[in-house]
Amino acid sequence: MLTIEKILKFKVLDNAILISLFILEIIVSIGLGLSIVNIIFSLYQSYPNIKQMVESIINNTLSIFIMIEIIKSINDYIALKRVRISVIIDISIIILLRELVIGLYQHNISTEFSILLTGIIFLLIIMRVITLKYSPNKYKLEV
């Protein structure tokens, strides 16, 4: 039988989690804004050097996509009170794609490592399709 103390303990814990996630979301959102300012500032700093400008845009833009997915996962948790595995897989795919693109662009990634990353990304995409197909919410598979 639930007592008043247990009910209050769960409510306090739930509210503490929501408040900490809200603060985390504000911090990540500020970081997102600073990343956009960083893109503009780094473009201004490396203006004559086109290679450095493109490298900065690629690196910072992919980092922004990761922060957007993290904000999306925090919002999903606040709204649904659970973590969807599809969002976690999305974040993992974006992080691995970022590392692969940056490594290939800078020519400092070995062939074996790029094949390994591509295989892991492929497996994560298969897992993502499976989570869409067998989701409890029955999300429609978007093509």
In this prediction, residue 96 carries a pLDDT of 92
pLDDT reported for residue 30? 92
pLDDT for residue 50: 84
- Residue by residue, pLDDT tens for the chain (143 residues) are 566 666 666 677 788 888 888 898 899 889 889 988 988 888 888 888 888 888 888 888 888 888 888 888 888 888 887 788 888 898 899 999 988 988 888 888 888 999 999 999 999 999 999 988 887 765 554 54
Looking at residue 116, its pLDDT comes to 93
What is residue 143's predicted lDDT score, i.e. its pLDDT? Answer: 43
Residues 88/117/106/59 CA torsion (nearest 10 deg): -10
Annotate the chain with three-state secondary structure. Answer: CCCHHHHHHHHHHHHHHHHHHHHHHHHHHHHHHHHHHHHHHHHHHCCCCHHHHHHHHHHHHHHHHHHHHHHHHHHHHHHHCCCCHHHHHHHHHHHHHHHHHHHHHHCCCCHHHHHHHHHHHHHHHHHHHHHHHCCCCCCCCCC
